[in-house]
């Protein structure tokens, strides 16, 4: 079987002509099935596109993953690049400091996750919506309202996380008094068990 030009294929199918079996198979072999992956080497212009693009260690080629649409790296996006000396061929960003491998490593033992943050709720003020591991959720029966989870924050310019007072309301809780500014990194921490910290969440800018 051989790949044929479009001009040759069209000549086989002129009105009144009947292609031979070999011509019929050559026709199909000249096209790709839509479920067949196209090798990068077969993509015209790809060398020009990437040939002069140098990505320093610690920076990443970012591929947006639905529903993310921002111009910056967002949780759930896929990346290619180097982190802590490791080449990430196709890694998912789970949040946090992009210089740490932990930001690209999914733990099965997380205390929970911060789902969202928003400003100026009429009842809560600034608030977060979060969820915790089922086992942590059950602690309320033995520990009362305190389930061992606290909120950690690292404000712009700070090098270390600080412990913040954490309301017991669940899954939506006010953080108005913390005055968390855009760019602040927050996460959940288990203080009485062995669960890993949640993925880091970055406080977004206020919407206009």
Per the CB < 8 A criterion, the answer to whether 97 and 200 are in contact is yes
Q: What values do phi and psi take at 95, rounded to 5? A: 105, 155
pLDDT tens digit at each of 208 positions of the chain: 678 888 888 888 888 888 888 888 888 887 877 778 777 677 777 666 666 667 777 788 899 988 888 888 888 899 998 888 888 888 888 877 788 887 887 777 889 889 899 998 888 899 999 988 888 888 765 555 567 889 999 999 999 999 997 776 888 989 999 999 999 999 999 988 889 899 888 898 887 7
What's CA 164's distance to the chain center, in Å? Answer: 26
Asked if the peptide bond before residue 169 counts as cis, ω within 30 degrees of 0, the response is: no
pTM greater than 0.85: no
Q: Which domains does the chain have, with CATH numbers?
A: 1-31 (no CATH), 40-104 (no CATH), 112-202 (2.60.40)
What is the residue-wise DSSP string for 37-105? PPPGGGSTTHHHHHHT----TT-EEEE--TT---SS--TT-EEEEEETTEEEEEEE--SS-TTSGGGG-
Encoding tokens for residue 93? 């960003």
What pLDDT, on the 0 to 100 scale, is given for residue 180? Answer: 93
């Amino acid at each position: 079987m051989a790949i044929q030009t479009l001009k040759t294929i069209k000549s086989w199918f002129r009105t009144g002509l009947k292609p031979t079996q070999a011509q019929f198979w050559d026709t199909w072999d000249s096209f790709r099935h839509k479920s067949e992956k196209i090798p990068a080497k077969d993509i015209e212009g790809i060398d020009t596109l990437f040939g002069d693009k140098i990505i320093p260690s610690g920076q990443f080629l970012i591929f947006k993953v639905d529903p993310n649409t921002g111009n910056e790296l967002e949780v759930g996006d896929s990346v290619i690049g180097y982190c802590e000396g490791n080449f990430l061929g196709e890694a998912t960003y789970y949040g946090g400091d992009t210089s740490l491998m932990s930001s690209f490593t999914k733990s099965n033992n997380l205390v929970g996750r911060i789902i969202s943050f928003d400003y100026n709720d009429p009842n809560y003020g600034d608030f977060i919506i979060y969820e915790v591991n089922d086992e942590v959720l059950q602690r309320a029966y033995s520990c009362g309202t305190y389930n061992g989870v606290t909120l950690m924050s690292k404000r712009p310019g700070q090098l270390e996380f600080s412990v913040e007072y954490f309301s017991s309301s669940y899954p939506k809780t006010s953080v108005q008094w913390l005055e968390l500014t855009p760019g602040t990194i927050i996460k959940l921490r288990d203080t009485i068990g062995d669960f890993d910290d949640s993925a880091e969440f970055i406080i977004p800018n206020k919407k206009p």
